[in-house]
Amino acid sequence: MKKFTTGLTYFIRVLAILLIGVNAFRIFKDYDFFFFLQRPAPLALMNSFILLFYGYLRALLRKCKIEISDLLYLLTSISMLLTFGLGMLFAFYQTVPHYDSFAHFINGALLTLVSLMVLSLLVKKETLAQLSPLFIVAFAFSFSSMLGVVWELVEYSLDSIFHANMQRYAEYIVIDGIPSIGEDLVGRAALHDTMIDIILNTLGGLIVCIILYFDLKREAPFITKMYIKRIKDEEPEIVN
């Protein structure tokens, strides 16, 4: 898996750099043949830089003496590509029916695993071994649910600044093959997308927590293959 995750890292970096160049160009002239990319262009450029930062995140963490396992890095990369790659930068949220719901469900599940790894980083190994499986999954579920709510706050902020309609407060209309924002929705219709996102994020996290609980009850839980740990000084440093 090491070779695959290394290749994935370079793929994300190259993709982000290409998107930065294209979206920087789109700020000055947004041609119609870029219809498959996120609008507005300044928001797409910002998300491209976020994707590039993620491409170097693992190397930066290694500099800080923190290591992410290959499996955990793979899962977080899937989340980033689903959200920032396909969802935002390639406008799947606007053009692919129900993609937003799919991404929130998957990310709810993945964030639960990431939350567990954060716990393993904050708590000493001896203390972690004494915690009950119920407490561990309760923490993971609560933390991932909080991240889901924080993401909705991010969407609301970006909608306020860029009028990106990430929370579907307005209708989407297609003009000459290009998705555009139509009339504002009213009442429960305006809240529908946000509430569905929170429900699916919670549902995805809950399903993983149930599986995780029974996995932790085993003598050799699969979850041990996903970890974040501090690197000891004597360990060699490997930077992708």
Q: pLDDT tens across 187-196, in order?
A: 888 889 899 9
Find out whether 215 and 222 touch, Cβ atoms under 8 Å: yes
Task: Taking each helix axis as running N to C, give the angle between helix 2-28 and helix 41-63, from 0 to 180 degrees, rounded to the nearest 10.
Answer: 150
Q: How far is CA 135 from CA 2, 132, 141, 209, 212, in A?
A: 32, 5, 10, 11, 12
pLDDT above 80: residue 235: no
β-pair partners for 230: 66
Greatest Cα-to-Cα distance within the chain, rounded to the nearest angstrom: 61
- For the segment 56-67, the average pLDDT, to the nearest whole number, is 91
pTM of the model: 0.82
User: Average of pLDDT values for 16-27?
Assistant: 95
pLDDT-wise least confident of 83-92, 99-108, 170-179? 170-179
170 pairs with which residues across the strands? 184
* Residue type at 133 in one-letter notation: P
Gap between the Cα atoms of 198 and 200, Å rounded = 6
Residue 234: per-residue pLDDT: 47
Indicate if the pLDDT at residue 199 is higher than 90. Answer: yes
Q: How confident is the model at residue 57 (pLDDT cuts 50, 70, 90)?
A: very high
